[in-house]
Structure 1
Amino acid sequence: MGGLPILAQPKLARTQRESPPMMNRRTLLTATAAVAATPALPAFARRTAPSGFVRREGTQFTLDGKPYRYVGTNLWYAAWIGHEGRLARELDALAADGVTNLRIAASAEHSPLKNSVRPAFHDQADEYNEALLTGLDHAMAEIGKRGMKAVLYLTNFWEWSGGMATYLLWTNGGRYIDAGDPAHPWPAFPEFVSEFYSSGEAVARYHAHIRKIVGRVNTVTGKPYAEDPAVMGWQLANEPRPGGTDATVDRTLPAFHAWIGETARLIKSLAPHHLVSTGGEGLKGSMERLGLVLSSQADDAIDYHTAHVWPGNWGWLDRTDMPATHARAVALSSEYVAQHVELAKQAGKPLVVEEFGYPRNGDVYDLDASTSMRDDLYGAIHAAVLASVREGGPLAGSNFWAWNGEGRAQHPDFRFRSGDTAFVGDPPHEPQGWYGVFDQDVSTRRIIRAQAEALAAL
């Protein structure tokens, strides 16, 4: 999840508001030509993973010789609750619903950016918060104990966990732009963050964090992270984008592609048995360019494609009139997923819809509000996964955004405040309860369980 909620954001740029471009033979050929024009990198040598590790074989995931398909969620805050009894309760609840895959944060940079989470993993002096590191250790131990898999992302394009903007301000004398600042309206923030890819010093600091985390030995299990089969894979970042405007993207693409290749290969050198993906949104993070979706994931060290679906943030759903625009929003979401299935087929790699979210009816945050419209979107995403699996296609799993579980908003205005510890799936920059699924959301959990059962039956 990233960017600013529409309620706090100026009118979105044209490319963020439009329906996705239609996929056809001509656009696929154009996209393929764009990838062919990307400078080739040497093939990445693969090693056969030991038992228990998820592998990529063509457009499929496998686990110990069998297809690996899953229902997953986003639990970004797992490390933050790692020392609490709540962690085990949340994992047990998810396991009971058939959730077997968790996408979690393995980074947070201490930052002056508004709404960036506290505590953070590390600060400008590279002093690390041992409680968070061991919280991550406990989380991975508990995930492994339940036979679940985790995907860990290693920084963030957006401000809510510090991220790339913080690496920049650490290395450029303290200059930064705060997301949502009226003095720097959209797309000033993504334009600023795109400077990260060409900053050798900022990228070096980020790579040092990767070595710290991927090279860590779990203090609970005694097992190196790189040898832990509970780790399905690592992601370069949450929602990395090459910029906020076409002109900037054209300028930053060489550095963006280089950053992807170099970072993916660094991770593979440290953890050769784990998968690597970019963590990108797909078309919406690629200026709607089909070729850019393919080229940004073309390196052989990138194992699979990812797509994120946010109809309420992209203008497909009018949140002031949800009943009138709901059917269109779900239809466009299904079309968007179908386009990414075709792109993954073209690339010959698996695909995961690893973020998708929808408001409660009426776009309110109160737990008493119905989730019937959200349930429709979940059903559509799950149907797309099932259809792809049945035909041997590349779409193998989904991670809904996000699991709130027993967490609850701590304030009447539903806003996160520094010092709050009752974390939910809605990050600090968003209303607490906007998109997350609570433990009491019976109908949504029923849909999640049904999907898990359907995948298991296949």
Structure 2
Amino acid sequence: MRSVLAVSLFGLAGLTFASPLQSHSERSEVPSGFVTTNGTSFQLDGEPFAFVGTNSFWLPLLTSEDDVHMTLETMAAAGVEVVRTWGFNAINASELEFATSTNLTYYQVWNSSGWTLNEGPQGLQRLDYVVSAAAMHDIRLIITFTNNWVGYGGADLYVNWLAGAGATHDTFFTDPTIISSYQQYVQTIVNRYKDSPTVFAWELMNEARCTSDLLASSAACHPGSGTLGLWYQQQSDYVRSLDPYHMITTGGEGEFYWAQPDEYWYNGTLVSDYNFNGEAGEDFEWTLGLPNIDFGVYHMYPQTWYPELDYPGSNFSVEEWGLDWIEAHALTAQMVGKPIVIEEFGATGLDNKTAIYPAWVQRTLDTNHAGIMWWQWGQLNLTEDGGNQAFKYTDAIVNGASPNDGFTVYTNQTSVFDVFT
């Protein structure tokens, strides 16, 4: 595979950026305690703010406030300053009995007329506690509004209920009724916490793509169509109209749309690389230039993105691919003049993590990333239901350990955990 950085330099050479956008702090007088941007860095009350953070989508799923408190306390002791978690949990009305019987957290219940909000003790009150407990431990939260994937009720619920059978996934980004419904929910979450400095940033969607794991895309969502980019612009402008102070980011994986995308050989065929040819629908460079996108984020899972290349004896290097991916995003952020955060990354297998993570973390430091967040935090000694509790899908507390998807790093895995602490 050719060097990602080399292609990035070529791809960016033909781009022109507008004059530097107003910084977040220049647009309005940010209240004390709110993190904002200063060029390619974050700042807090006039001082530089660079951070190590992590992901914990399951925090609001915990029914035990003691477990929430213990988890955040352990994070704070490890030096974690920013945690990314889901601000969404939606179910179908047909699942309500299951949710009630298992004490599952849910914020929206979908039926034929749309969705109803659950602000009760099994609903948004749980997110309220996560926010208040994070404040107690001086941890800030990136709160994500919805999911590209099926997990915990994402975009396809909007599509299925409001657009009906046969609608494609990208209908979510263009249908006025769906956009209005999404904005109604966003308004609920933003208005609930917009005065809180505990919110680090609002995030529009987790890993937006033209397709999902359930629905295909239409021909309209193609490389260069701008479908996702225009949606990012519309929704970031909307969130800014509700909240002039908190930062906003996309939640995207960071795929590029280059005039000459990277290619690789597979099974005797030259393959155009999905992460660089725009097929996902993203255009990282263009999106980062949007006025109300305050900083860039991207994700990184080369093992699972390239399973056909990552096998014993191949010439594919998970570590090297990741190093190039990190540099390509850092270069873009420097050219646009905004901070960059590697928001999710992971490798499976403890030996792989131990061998690869130090190099990835060092490269983020060397390329002036403003934040680094691994996927995902692993908490031990949870007490909920005796230390065993099923949530949904395959997510569960097992013998006191938080959900393990193969990327989870637990505090007793010191060879990896010490890389971050």
1:333, CA displacement in angstroms? 0.4
Q: 1:440 to 1:113 in 2, by over 3 A?
A: farther
Higher RCO structure, 1 or 2 (CA under 8 Å, sep 6+): 1
**Structure 2 partner of 1:136:** 127
SS at match of 2:37: strand
**Structure 1 partner of 2:353:** 374
Among candidates 380, 383, 395, match of residue 406 of structure 1: 380
1:417, CA displacement in angstroms? 5.3
**Structure 2 partner of 1:385:** 364
**Structure 2 partner of 1:153:** 144
Within a 5 Å distance, the mapping from 1:415-434 to structure 2 comes to: 422=397, 432-434=404-406
Provide the C-alpha distance between the structure 2 equivalents of 1:215 and 1:444, rounded to a whole number of angstroms.
Answer: 38
**Is 2:23–2:37's contact at 8 Å kept on the other side of the alignment?**
no
Provide the C-alpha distance between the structure 2 equivalents of 1:69 and 1:326, rounded to a whole number of angstroms.
Answer: 35
1:113, CA displacement in angstroms? 12
1:309, CA displacement in angstroms? 0.5
SS at match of 2:151: helix
1:293, CA displacement in angstroms? 1.2
TM-score of the superposition, structure 2-length normalised? 0.79
- Structure 1 counterpart of 2:28, which letter? R
Provide the C-alpha distance between the structure 2 equivalents of 1:272 and 1:378, rounded to a whole number of angstroms.
Answer: 36
- Structure 2 counterpart of 1:401, which letter? W
**Is 1:277–1:304's contact at 8 Å kept on the other side of the alignment?**
yes
Percentage of pairs with the same residue: 24
List runs of 5+ in structure 1 lacking aligned partners.
Answer: 1-16, 177-191, 217-224, 361-370, 427-431, 450-458
1:339, CA displacement in angstroms? 0.5
Q: 1:349 to 1:142 in 2, by over 3 A?
A: same
The answer to whether the aligner puts 1:262 opposite 2:238 as a matched pair is no
1:58, CA displacement in angstroms? 1.3
1:108, CA displacement in angstroms? 2.3
Among candidates 79, 85, 106, match of residue 104 of structure 1: 85
Instruction: Give deviations 1:2-55, integer Å, cap 9, x for gaps.
Output: xxxxxxxxxxxxxxx99847335432123x15x77xxxx999982121111111
**Structure 1 partner of 2:292:** 301
Among candidates 241, 255, 272, match of residue 244 of structure 2: 272
**Is 2:53–2:372's contact at 8 Å kept on the other side of the alignment?**
yes
1:173, CA displacement in angstroms? 2.7
Q: 1:95 to 1:28 in 2, by over 3 A?
A: same
**Is 2:52–2:79's contact at 8 Å kept on the other side of the alignment?**
yes
**Structure 2 partner of 1:355:** 344
Instruction: Give deviations 1:413-449, integer Å, cap 9, x for gaps.
Output: xx975597528775xxxxx441111232222221111
**Is 1:246–1:287's contact at 8 Å kept on the other side of the alignment?**
no
Q: 1:384 to 1:113 in 2, by over 3 A?
A: farther
1:375, CA displacement in angstroms? 2.3
TM-score of the superposition, structure 1-length normalised? 0.73
Instruction: Give deviations 1:216-249, integer Å, cap 9, x for gaps.
Output: 1xxxxxxxx1111111100000011245789543
Greater CA drift, 285-294 or 338-347: 285-294
**Structure 1 partner of 2:263:** none
Among candidates 234, 238, 247, match of residue 202 of structure 2: 234
- Structure 1 counterpart of 2:44, which letter? L
**Structure 1 partner of 2:301:** 310
Among candidates 285, 308, 320, match of residue 331 of structure 1: 320
**Is 2:54–2:376's contact at 8 Å kept on the other side of the alignment?**
yes
**Structure 2 partner of 1:127:** 116
Among candidates 208, 224, 235, match of residue 184 of structure 2: 208
1:111, CA displacement in angstroms? 4.4
Among candidates 138, 163, 170, match of residue 194 of structure 1: 170
Q: Which has the higher helix share?
A: 1
1:60, CA displacement in angstroms? 1.0
1:262, CA displacement in angstroms? 1.8
Instruction: Give deviations 1:310-364, integer Å, cap 9, x for gaps.
Output: 012111686664xx5698101110111000001111211110000001112xxxx
1:385, CA displacement in angstroms? 2.5
Provide the C-alpha distance between the structure 2 equivalents of 1:379 and 1:198, rounded to a whole number of angstroms.
Answer: 41
**Is 1:109–1:163's contact at 8 Å kept on the other side of the alignment?**
yes
Q: 1:60 to 1:42 in 2, by over 3 A?
A: closer
Q: 1:113 to 1:153 in 2, by over 3 A?
A: farther
Matched residue count: 377
**Structure 2 partner of 1:64:** 45
1:376, CA displacement in angstroms? 2.8
- Structure 1 counterpart of 2:241, which letter? S
Provide the C-alpha distance between the structure 1 equivalents of 2:203 and 2:45, rounded to a whole number of angstroms.
Answer: 22
**Structure 1 partner of 2:260:** none
Provide the C-alpha distance between the structure 1 equivalents of 2:5 and 2:321, rounded to a whole number of angstroms.
Answer: 11
**Is 2:256–2:285's contact at 8 Å kept on the other side of the alignment?**
no
**Is 1:404–1:436's contact at 8 Å kept on the other side of the alignment?**
yes
Provide the C-alpha distance between the structure 2 equivalents of 1:249 and 1:194, rounded to a whole number of angstroms.
Answer: 7
- Structure 1 counterpart of 2:154, which letter? G
1:251, CA displacement in angstroms? 7.4
Q: Which has the higher strand share?
A: 2
**Is 2:5–2:327's contact at 8 Å kept on the other side of the alignment?**
no
Greater CA drift, 135-144 or 17-26: 17-26
List runs of 5+ in structure 2 lacking aligned partners.
Answer: 258-273
Provide the C-alpha distance between the structure 1 equivalents of 2:198 and 2:321, rounded to a whole number of angstroms.
Answer: 34
